[in-house]
Chain A
Amino acid sequence: MKILVPVKRVVDYNVKIRVKPDGSGVDLANVKMSMNPFDEIGVEEALRLKEAGKATEVVVVSIGPAQAAETLRTGLAMGADRGILVKTDAAVEPLAVAKILKGVVEAEAPGLVILGKQAIDDDCAQTGQMLSALLGWSQGTFASKVVIDGDVLSVTREVDGGLQTVKLKMPAIVTTDLRLNEPRYASLPNIMKAKKKPIDEKTPADFGVDTTPRLKVLTTVEPGARKAGVKVGSVAELVQKLKSEAGVI
């Protein structure tokens, strides 16, 4: 079985981001870019499944500018077998990403697609679900555990208030949550091998997808500064405030 792992190039999670003065977006000039952390978890899970003998090949795919090839190489340096770069300089919205991925899935015929539950740049959390709908495949989102048994996939999901386990028929879609695993370090030998692994180049047009945006960003603003908290004198006062001021109990 082949596993497809889409990986997105995003601003590194350690970077203190700045909104551009004209509010048109986040300033990306000279900013360190990395693989979306949830996608890294996806690559790790795919590699573990391969190491456990449940999969035979791990293919990483990225949709983005030429530099997204570096993100693919990072996946290859972790241990993925090959990469596909769908090259576009345009901003691609989740629906267009899902449509392109549908095309990639049709060409590659993987048994499993593991995506991050969201990308840390726009936090949309839509692509996995959209891809599942477009393909008509089952989905297990926000996974904290994935077990393959024959052609049945058990996915433990992190939902509000606890865990839920769903059984899916493969082929299927999984999106990763933070606790699924801790990604490995790209090892030095794998880093050196990554350069020699193949990366296929495609364009959205190859999959007949029109990436013209359907959404318009009106403005981007910094989050407001946090307001100072208050100290309460007693539990009784706390309960009273929660009731009357916060209105949560």
Chain B
Amino acid sequence: MDFALDFEQQALVNSLEEFCRRELYPHEAVVEELRYVPDEIKQEIRRKSLEAGFDGMNLPEEWGGPGLDKQTKMQAERVMGKPSTALGQCMNRGVTGILFKCRDEQIEEYLLPSIRGERKNAFALTEPGAGSDARAIVTRAERQGGEWVINGVKQFISGADIADFIILIAVSGTDQTPKGPRKRFTAFLVDKASPGLRVEPMKSIVTRGYNPTMVYFDNVRVPDSKILGGEGEGFNTANEWLYDGRVALSAHCVGRAERIFDMTKEWAGSRKAFGRTIGEFQGIGFKIANMAIDIKLGDLMVKEAAWKMDNDLMNRTEASMVNYYCSEMVFRVADNAVQIFGGMGMMEDFPIQRFWRDARIERIWEGTSEIHQDVIAKDLLRPYRN
């Protein structure tokens, strides 16, 4: 294992960092204020990211991307954890893994326009009665005539307000098995303009501009051709996409923590109390040291996870470990940052409170910390179960 970045990785990291500094950071305050990204800003970022060749950087070669290895990709994603999520999303770096299941006319209609950045999707699984326990979802897809009729409510669906189609997971039937009835889960591609589909904003305190929504399905009709993957195969996602999601989230956490830490060091080194800089007090110095160590551990875990992915050694236990550590880490770092900034850390005119709020979601949305711990413990104890 050699985790030193080679020229290409370093050059990409440098170039992306410069891009974030010049094109994304300057818009963060306004997005926070408005809770959406104004169209002009969105288009400008799109255009510049296209010019700089960052579009489609996460795509595999078969779909016109550079086919970066995971190590390079995760280093790039680390940088992309630094800017506000909503602004980072304006760059069109890749597509939701499950979309690669598109076939026949779905490729022209959904996959290719998504790759080109012309269509955006939201992924709708969670419901008011089913979060961590995803198999408890009750949104139904019933066959009537040659069509599927969908009824149900989805909750916390990110970006459905700005998406133009929804990747929906619904229950399409029940199988009787020796262990009792088993739901059949199916993924559907549902255009947002479909009659009976309604999106309502939810007001959240995190990642403003990339907002959670309620999505209501009231007798929404779709043909067979809108099934993504096979009927009953909604949860059969390739492991690669699952790992990709968890490790990329972890990389984002590391990048965000680095940015918070840079601001915090500057503050600790210049803010004065009792005639010296606050960083000279051990109470603050210890926090600075621990933050540095915490970030380094997260960074190493991401690099090791990416290395494992590149060498086909990844598994779900490892994916949960890195996801858990990094999402807890970025919140610890953000919380220490608030403490070191003191009252100024709580002021809306200062970005620290935003990082602190945004850091909080990482312990919830790609599986809660408790669920990751549960997975890790179950996997490790499985050999001892009788």
Whether A195 lies near B8 (C-beta < 8 A) is: yes
Whether A195 lies near B7 (C-beta < 8 A) is: yes
Which chain A residues numbered 70 to 90 have a C-beta less than 8 Å away from chain B?
Answer: 70, 73-74, 77
Q: Which of A23-31, A121-129, A159-167, A185-193 lines the interface with chain B? A: A185-193
Instruction: Please indicate the chain A residues that have their CB under 8 angstroms from the CB of B16 in the complex.
Output: 185
The reply on A169 being an interface residue by CB < 8 A is: no
Q: Which of B10, B14, B16 has the most CB of A within 10 A?
A: B14
A190 to B51, CA, bound (A): 12
A-side interface mostly: helix
The reply on B11 being an interface residue by CB < 8 A is: yes
Instruction: Please indicate the chain B residues that have their CB under 8 angstroms from the CB of A34 in the complex.
Output: 14
Instruction: Please indicate the chain A residues that have their CB under 8 angstroms from the CB of B10 in the complex.
Output: 70
Which chain B residues numbered 1 to 40 have a C-beta less than 8 Å away from chain A?
Answer: 7-8, 10-12, 14-16, 18-19
Whether B57 lies near A185 (C-beta < 8 A) is: no
A130 to chain B, nearest CB (A): 30
B50, closest chain A residue (CB): A187
B-side interface mostly: helix
Q: Which of A188, A190, A191 has the most CB of B within 10 A?
A: A188
Q: Knowing A73-B7, A185-B18, A185-B19 touch, does A191 contact B52 (C-beta < 8 A)?
A: no
A13 to chain B, nearest CB (A): 11
Whether B52 lies near A187 (C-beta < 8 A) is: yes
Interface size class of A (residues with CB under 8 A): 10 to 19
Instruction: Please indicate the chain A residues that have their CB under 8 angstroms from the CB of B129 in the complex.
Output: none
Q: List 25 A-B contacts (CB under 8 A).
A: A70-B10, A73-B11, A74-B11, A74-B14, A77-B15, A184-B52, A185-B16, A185-B52, A185-B54, A186-B11, A186-B15, A187-B15, A187-B52, A187-B54, A188-B12, A188-B52, A188-B57, A188-B66, A189-B53, A190-B53, A191-B8, A191-B11, A192-B8, A194-B8, A195-B7
- Chain A residues at the B interface, C-beta cutoff of 8 Å: 34, 70, 73-74, 77, 184-192, 194-195
Kindly list 18 other residue pairs between chains A and B, CB separation below 8 angstroms, not including A186-B12, A194-B11. Answer: A34-B14, A70-B7, A73-B7, A77-B11, A184-B52, A185-B15, A185-B16, A185-B19, A185-B52, A186-B11, A186-B14, A186-B15, A187-B52, A188-B66, A189-B53, A191-B11, A191-B15, A194-B7
